[in-house]
Amino acid sequence: MSEAYVECLVKGRPNTLAKVLKILLIVLAVLTVAAMILLAKFWMFFIAVLFGIGAYIISQYTDVEYEYLYIDKELVIDKIYNQAKRKRVATYSFDKVIVIAPIKSYHLDNFGKLSDKPKDYSIGYEEQPDLRYVMFYEGKEQIIFSPNEELVKIMKNAAPRKVFSD
């Protein structure tokens, strides 16, 4: 049995709300330090430090990347925060995959709405042409991801009747 290995890294959609909140917390920290200096109130320093800590914590989760690993009939999806912290999101076995096709493919017409809310591990927006794919897994999960051509090719070789590239 030959083992296949393909790795794909894509940058996720930036979290706009988190970036705005981070900027707001930084501004509040600076204003609190300025008020502390003008009013000579040392206790305001602790509030400024809390705003700074909040901005730091939020900044750790604003930059998100997704890594797709195809390892011998398994698709592993990892989430990478701020290019430093990695979290395993899911592992999908190709034995339980129903179909994988481009997001606007006619192959997905029969599956309609198998799941309530799709899990989005893609770039997060529509490009021209749209390169995102949808995977229906075990009849209850809908996963959206953005593989590269090499990953699509190796998945198609592993499961030719389940993977479509239109």
| Tens-digit pLDDT profile for residues 44-82 | 889 999 999 999 999 888 888 999 999 988 999 999 988
* Tokens 């090719």 found at: 153
Residue 160 corresponds to which tokens in the numbers above?
A: 């030719």
Q: Which two tokens stand for residue 88?
A: 């395993």
Query: Where does the pLDDT of residue 1 fall: very low under 50, low under 70, confident under 90, or very high at 90 and above?
Result: very low
pLDDT, tens digit (0-9, with 9 covering 90-100), for 131-147: 889 998 887 888 999 99
Average pLDDT, the chain: 87
Average pLDDT rounded to a whole number, residues 26-39: 92
Cα gap 158→40, rounded to integer Å: 69
- The band of 114, judged by pLDDT with boundaries at 50, 70 and 90, is low
Packing angle of the helix pair 44-59, 16-39 (nearest 10 deg): 160
- pTM of the entire structure? 0.79
In the three-class reduction of DSSP (H, G, I as helix; E, B as strand; rest coil), residue 165 is classed as coil
